[in-house]
Each structure stands twice: as structure tokens, then as C-alpha cells.
Chain A
């Protein structure tokens, strides 16, 4: 795989420098067979440094996770060597089993089968709260 050119796949650009590895794990890219490039600390005009992830296969991205982990990223979808779509993911309204409630008094701390669900309660500040105990998700 040449890092600069993919024929069918996804390029996640403008990842905050240092966040690339976190996204890599959140998107479960470690379990994929195709070629994947994680570029760290690439020079960027507007960000100084940035991370980039390139995946050489058409895949369904969990945009909720992307939007939550780093809402500043740019997603480029490439098909037959052509950029067909480019967008910025939004902060999702709801996160299910992406982050864990850390409140030791929350019912999710004693009952393992309960899904951890967070709702966006303040889009401006990107605040998520557990739907059960209303604790803020830790940054």
C-alpha cells in the first residue's frame, strides 16, 4: 500500500496529533485484514501537527465514535481513486457502549449487563451525561 494513494477506502484527516491511536482502537481497526496506515505527527498548515488514518478498503465507519472522540476530523471517502465524499462528523446525540460511566454510585457500576448510554446534553460544550445517574462523561 502506498501511503499517499488508495483506490477504495477512507482517509480520516485532521486528527488531533496524538489522538490517532485512540481512534484506531475505537474504530476496531486492529481487527481488520486490509492495509491500514496510521500516520502520526504529520505536518499540517492549520494544525501544526496532525494524525492521519488511511484504510485501504471501503468500510462502514462508526461516525458516532468519530464525532465523539475527535469532532474536528475530516473524513474522505475514496472510490476508484476518486474522492467522492468529504465531511466532518457531528457530535452524536447518543453514545451506546462507547464510554463507560465512572460514577461508583451509578447502577451500571454493579450490574454488568446494562448498556452504558450517554446523551448529549450540551452541544456547545460537548457535554455528555449518563442517562441513568446523569453524571458527566469524563473528558
Chain B
């Protein structure tokens, strides 16, 4: 029995295998529609995230399985002080696999140590969100056909943006990837990550200006500047509009640039960009469902 807590738990080969399965599901959905018959997925969302929960539930339903679960702590046993360990031991009696989201970092890890069934981390606070990274990787693979020798722009909140950190970790394992980190001074990639990149000989540059680096990018990963990450409202208002992608800014970009965003967006990408063929963020959403299907199959060891 295996769980997925952190994207680095997966080897490069395993990621390739998941991506191959996801691509096969996209090409032949009918082959998979009965694979999880009589299996149950439990979605335990100790904090609400409708998008992620729907993606997991849709994934299981398309595999022919069933879904049980709860969302938000205030109407569940967790609110009455039950531990994460006890909750998963209980739910593990009903479900074959659990997708868990929790506001506290490390909760899915504890769960995986105690659970009788596989746990998928569906986000633990600002820490890990491996299925988002898998969705990002599937999108890059489908749009670019490869992971190596890409120039990857990361824009916005690079300090707290966990999706960005995991994507850096995941892509650092491939050859010739160059990261261009575009953020205000206050939201730079944390120092420890920079040190790690230097130690591992990863190629990167940091800049404050999106326009300046636009022409060289193969991928532009936009992120949301989140209000809750700021202690000070004035700082948030001053910074939130600094890094907005508009059609104007896209003018100097490559014709085959791939624009990504973990969604939901506030205003980091103007709506006018949505119709540009380079906009890939809604494809990312649908890829998210397919890669979760592939992951459920893998963890349930369904052939």
C-alpha cells in the first residue's frame, strides 16, 4: 500500500508512467470507465476546496467508482476534537482510498502513517499539493512533448506559492531546464530554495520585470497573490496588481508559449487572454482530472 504525500515521493519513471496512463485515458476513455467498479474514494476535506474535491470526485466517477466524504471541519467529527489518525482509521473501514485536504501542514503524512488504505494529499496548508503538480506536469508534457530543455517562467507570489515550489522540485530533475523567477522583492523564492538550486546546479535567474523576460519563455506559470498571505492589507493592495498578464504583454512572447495558472485566478491574467491559443490554464483543469484518474488506478493497483 502506497500513498502520495509529496511530489518527490514519485520517481521520474513513476511520473512518466502516470503521464502515459493519463494520456491513454484521454485517448481511450471507454477502456477505463469500469476500472474502479465497487471501489470507493473518500474525500476528507478538513478545509473547503471545491475545485480540488470536484476534480477527485469526477476522476473516481469516471473510473466507475463511488465517492463518499465530507468538506470543512465544522460539520465533521474533526470539529469535535477527533485526531486525524482516528478519522482515517475509521474512514479506512469504509473506503478503498482517501483524498485528504487539511489546513495543517503534515496532516496527510500522519494520516498515511496510520491509515489502512492509501492516502492522497489533496493539499496541506501552504505545504504540499502533489496532484496539482502532476496536473501541471501532464499539461507541460501534452503542450511541449517534453520536460527537458525548457525555459520556465514563474510569476507572482514565489514566496508562499507552494505550487511553484513543487513545480521547481519536479522539473529540476530534468536536463537543461532554466527557471526565470519573476516576482516583487517581497515575494521572492525563499532563500533556502535558492541555496538548494545553487547546490544542485540548477540554472535560474531572478527578475522584477515580466516584460523583460517574456520573449525567451517556453512556459509562463502565473500565480495568485493571495490576500491571506499578508499580515498587512496595504502591502497586499500595493503588490497584488504588480504582475498581471495582458494581451499587450504577450505580444513579444513565443508563438508556442504555454501560459499556465493553478486557478482560481483573481486578476493575474486578464480575461482577454483566455481566447489566445497560448492560454492553457483550463486545459490544466481537465488534465488534473485525468492525472488523478491515473493516480487512483496506480495506488489501488488496478490493472
Contact = CB atoms under 8 A, between A and B. Distances in A.
A133 B83 contact: no
B83 A111 contact: yes
The B interface is mostly helix, strand or loop, or mixed, namely mixed
Given A110-B104, A132-B105, A105 B125 contact: yes
Nearest to B192: A136
A107 B85 CA distance: 11
A130 B83 contact: no
A5 to B, nearest CB: 49
Interface in B78-128: 83-85, 102-107, 109-110, 124-127
B66 to A, nearest CB: 29
A106 interface: yes
B101 to A, nearest CB: 13
Contacts of A103: 105
The A interface is mostly helix, strand or loop, or mixed, namely loop
Contacts of B85: 111, 113
Nearest to B125: A105
Interface in B151-190: none
Nearest to B128: A134
A107 B84 contact: yes
Contacts of A136: 192
Interface of B: 83-85, 102-107, 109-110, 124-127, 192
15 contacts: A105-B103, A105-B105, A106-B105, A107-B104, A107-B105, A110-B104, A111-B83, A111-B84, A111-B85, A111-B110, A113-B83, A132-B107, A132-B110, A133-B127, A134-B105
